[in-house]
Structure 1
Amino acid sequence: MPGNPLWGWLGPLLVAVFGGILRFTGLGRPNAVMFDETYYAKDAWALINHGVERASLGTVKDPVADRMIIQGNTDFLVKCTPPEADPCPLYVAHPPLGKWMIGLGEQFFGMTPYGWRFAGAVVGVLSILILARVARRMTRSTLLGCLAGLLLAVDGLHYVLSRTALLDIFLMFWVLAGFACLVADRDWARGRLADWYETSPLSDQGPWLGLRPWRIAAGLCLGAACAVKWSGIFFLIAFAVMSLVWDAGARRAIGLRRPYLGVVNRDLTGVLSALALLPALTYIASWAGWFASSLGWGRNWAQATSQGPGFFVFDSLRSWLSYHFQVLSFHTGLSEGHTYQSTPWTWPILSRPVAFHYQTPGTGCGADECAEAVLGVGTPVIWYGGLAALIAMVAWYVATRDWRAGAVLLGYAAGWLPWFYYALADNRTMYLFYAIAMVPFMILALTMAAGLIVGRADAAPNRRALGAAVVGAFTLLALVNFWWLHPVLAAEVIPHSQWWARMLFRSWA
């Protein structure tokens, strides 16, 4: 890795601090529940207090929660057993890890908007740092790494979800962290193979590389992604295959005569352990509160404890799997229309974002009609530039088979293409913010394209100067575009005419 190691960390950290200032400034604004915060803030609070999601039927004695939070998540509440039970069992449609993370902020800062948004802001900032570092590793350029982090910092959708207690920002974080670990594992494994090549006689298949700490870390992260939302499984499968392909390429690169057989005999067991067994154990561990509690939905505690320890384990697993089949049935039947729903093929052009919050305050903007809005939309300059960059990645991969272009395209596809099936086969209700898991890979595509535009270090100075000017102009446009949209991303009170001026399409309103 060329360049100054100090700046390799200091540059990305400075970009992350910039993103943190943006996200934590006014984090508690608006002082209201936004969109699906009405579910996850409640569920997180219940997890912290009970170990499982519960719905309270009583009055919550909190000045904010009293009116906003807590008479129960009635959309999913089916029954209480006995009817007068308080709190009563709550059926929920997503695994618990993301809500546990939201709950940590509530534990420290209380059941307030700042409290339930705190964890999302933290992982939003950390994702900026991770993306900057993984882009630096992939491009071997600190400057390009910082560019990737900066573009993520000023993407509108990432900004809004970092300041909202929804699960998708946590899904994106764990997916990105898992991807970053696998990129580091690729370098680590190639280094081990190079050392072996220099000191050992060449063989047909090559060596077993031993325990691979970065691959193990990737398994933990991708298991955590599945423990936030089930859609993490698409990334887990895609990245496991990608890692095996990288191993085969590494063995072929040093001249092994049977590299693919070497992958099967030397690497496959490790991949299955790190990227199948370990994620499964991580997912199960995220349900520890449900297993340890008698209060969870479908827990059947009295039945499970009616006999010995062996029956307890068997019956607990049976109840847990039955709960999962209920959730699967819920998701496959989720086709009820919604004002802000959209289809996945429209996500890249931002045609139908979600209005997380909209109010018309009577005063505070110096005009007769005011608006206070949070619109979950990406920064158009970044997203439309990202489309062009992704097309360039397709051409680059076809022409050169560059592993970086392939990895970026695979990550983007894993976050996007599966939703086509659900839209066409199940008519699933979906929203633009589901695309947040694709955003880091779109920005990596932009970063790779920027590297191609600037050119290699040995290119002609005039050519590099022109390329740098183009990339700099694009970055400046992205910053200006984010600044222009910021009032409708951060719930600033502005004249209604100014809110309307920021609606790029009528479908945004």
Structure 2
Amino acid sequence: MPVKTIERRPRLLLWLVALASEAIFLFRLTVPTKPVFDEVHYLPAARALLALSGPANIEHPLLAKELIAAAMWLFGDTPFGWRFASTLAGAATVAAVFALTHLLTGRVRAALLATAFALLGFTIYIQARIAMLDTFLVAFLMWGVVLLAGAMRDGSVARWSAGSVLMGLATACKWAAAPYVAAAGVTFLLMRRKRPSRWPGLGTVPALALLGGLSVAAYFLTFAPAFFYAGDALTLRGLPHFQWDMYLRQTQKLPPHTYQSTWWTWPLLIRPIWYLYEPVDGAQRGILLLGNPAVMWGGLIAVAACYHGWVKTGAARLLAPAALWTFSVAIFAIIPKSLGFYYYYYPSSVLLCVVLAVALDHWRVALGRWIELYLLLVFALWLYFLPVLSAEPLANPAAFHRWTWFDSWV
């Protein structure tokens, strides 16, 4: 099929993006063969769900662990089974980046540019190959944003309802998604006030009721397996208490951690995390959770440019991604957690790919060939860091010095 024909069919391109992403994430998925980083917490929790033996890892909701468990049921309690569901979530996230950028710009090339940043930005690649909750949170969150934003554009009740459900499912992975539900409600009110004619079939109260009701219902339905535990089974009466217990565990004072960091350091790449650095599978290997410096630092310039462009032109397509990224970072300045880690920045790092693509597309005429050179830089850095993104064999235990540009990266 000719390239121009494909470009005229963004839905087909969306599926191709998802399939290509899945193929990339599946390659060497079983390396390393031992649990990595927080897999040591979530794999036992998934096994408990498979056996319905009783509560485990009760500081977080169940959905992400249920999805990990489902893949383990299909493919076995093996490294492939542990991580397969994450690859699907990662591919869905990349596809959502394409969809959101296309929704904002109406241009396939801008959407493909955002897709390239997402695939080469390090963070999705790493999170799509590890059994962690954040991977699933972001997949549901991004598609929730896509559907809700689409509904705000065309007034579709079906999209609004589906997006509301996805926001509830994102929250059922980790509570960090809950503020986005409130943000969606506020955004709807602002959009409704500005352009009421776009919502002829749904009033303000029904829309907010759908958003709140469907997201809450979807959230609580994911607790269904806990009612069938062999020991300490959940009950309807105990469900509210379980939420309170999660809150207490989320807000408890924790001891200092080697990789702890504060929210304002994440956009600057001050303290990334080594998910793995040790001899395993017959070789020294490492996995460094770090955003691609060209994307992460360049994205900050894009955020500022989008705000500047919005002030000058009033273009909502410039404001929306910049404001969403800003919100995604700001919530961690408010959430009452005693420790922060760079992987909390994962949703923001994904949104930054959209901001960057929207900004480059908006100023594409002025930038010209500089966009291509910038993309080459992004790709070159991906190749440079690939050995410590994919746990390739390293020369020796001191090999990490090649990739730790600053002392804080060690």
Q: Which residue of 2 aligns with 1:38?
A: 40
Q: Once the two structures are superposed, what CA deviation does each residue of 1:367-395 show, in whole Å capped at 9, x if it has no partner?
A: xxxx3101111111100011101111221
> Which of 63, 67, 71 is 1:97 aligned to?
63
Q: Which residue of 2 aligns with 1:377?
A: 290
Q: Name the structure, 1 or 2, with higher relative contact order (CA <8 Å, separation 6+).
A: 2
Q: Which residue of 1 aligns with 2:340?
A: 430
Q: Which residue of 2 aligns with 1:26?
A: 28
1:415 paired with 2:315, answer no
Task: Give the Cα separation in 2 of the matches to 1:357 and 1:249.
Answer: 50
1:447 paired with 2:347, answer no
1:388 paired with 2:301, answer yes
Q: Which residue of 2 aligns with 1:283?
A: 219
Tell me, what secondary structure is at the counterpart of 1:491?
Answer: coil
> Which of 211, 227, 230 is 2:172 aligned to?
227
1:277-316 correspondence runs (5 A): 277-293=213-229, 295-296=231-232, 299=234, 316=235
1:66-465 correspondence runs (5 A): 89-90=55-56, 92-189=58-155, 212-251=157-196, 267-293=203-229, 295-296=231-232, 299=234, 316-360=235-279, 371-422=284-335, 426=336, 428-455=338-365, 463=366
Task: Give the Cα separation in 2 of the matches to 1:318 and 1:11.
Answer: 47
Task: Give the Cα separation in 2 of the matches to 1:42 and 1:339.
Answer: 23
Tell me, what secondary structure is at the counterpart of 1:119?
Answer: helix
Report deviation, 1:20: 2.4
1:476-487 correspondence runs (5 A): 476-487=376-387
When the two chains are superposed, the root-mean-square deviation of aligned CA atoms in Å is 2.4
Contact 1:412 1:438 in 2 (8 A): yes
Task: Give the Cα separation in 1 of the matches to 2:257 and 2:231.
Answer: 32
Report deviation, 1:161: 0.7
Report deviation, 1:276: 0.4
Q: Which residue of 1 aligns with 2:11?
A: 9
Contact 1:94 1:229 in 2 (8 A): yes
Contact 1:139 1:448 in 2 (8 A): yes
Task: Give the Cα separation in 2 of the matches to 1:233 and 1:267.
Answer: 23
Contact 2:68 2:131 in 1 (8 A): yes
TM-score, L = length of structure 2: 0.92
Contact 1:178 1:221 in 2 (8 A): yes
> Which of 374, 381, 386 is 1:474 aligned to?
374
Q: Which residue of 2 aligns with 1:502?
A: 403
Report deviation, 1:11: 3.6
Tell me, what secondary structure is at the counterpart of 2:130?
Answer: coil
Q: 1:168 to 1:291 in 2, by over 3 A?
A: same
Contact 2:22 2:87 in 1 (8 A): yes
Report deviation, 1:293: 3.9
Amino acid at match of 1:248: R
Report deviation, 1:106: 0.6
Which structure has the larger Rg?
A: 1
Amino acid at match of 2:361: G
Task: Give the Cα separation in 2 of the matches to 1:441 and 1:339.
Answer: 27
337-346 or 433-442, which deviates more: 433-442
Q: Once the two structures are superposed, what CA deviation does each residue of 1:327-375 show, in whole Å capped at 9, x if it has no partner?
A: 21111114321111111000001111111111136975xxxxxx31011
Q: 1:478 to 1:352 in 2, by over 3 A?
A: same
Amino acid at match of 2:99: R
Task: Give the Cα separation in 1 of the matches to 2:81 and 2:202.
Answer: 47
Task: Give the Cα separation in 2 of the matches to 1:396 and 1:418.
Answer: 24
Task: Give the Cα separation in 2 of the matches to 1:475 and 1:427.
Answer: 37
Amino acid at match of 2:326: A
Contact 2:318 2:359 in 1 (8 A): no
Task: Give the Cα separation in 1 of the matches to 2:314 and 2:5.
Answer: 26
Task: Give the Cα separation in 1 of the matches to 2:349 and 2:339.
Answer: 20
Q: 1:130 to 1:286 in 2, by over 3 A?
A: same
Contact 2:254 2:339 in 1 (8 A): yes
Report deviation, 1:398: 2.4
Unpaired stretches in structure 2, ≥5 consecutive residues? none
Report deviation, 1:3: 8.7
Unpaired stretches in structure 1, ≥5 consecutive residues? 55-88, 190-210, 255-261, 300-315, 365-370, 456-462
Report deviation, 1:169: 0.9
Q: 1:103 to 1:274 in 2, by over 3 A?
A: same
Amino acid at match of 1:107: W
Contact 2:7 2:108 in 1 (8 A): no
Task: Give the Cα separation in 2 of the matches to 1:227 and 1:384.
Answer: 31
Contact 2:167 2:181 in 1 (8 A): yes
Contact 1:242 1:407 in 2 (8 A): no
Report deviation, 1:118: 0.5
Q: 1:468 to 1:11 in 2, by over 3 A?
A: farther
Q: Which residue of 2 aligns with 1:64?
A: none
Amino acid at match of 1:277: G
Task: Give the Cα separation in 2 of the matches to 1:495 and 1:385.
Answer: 31
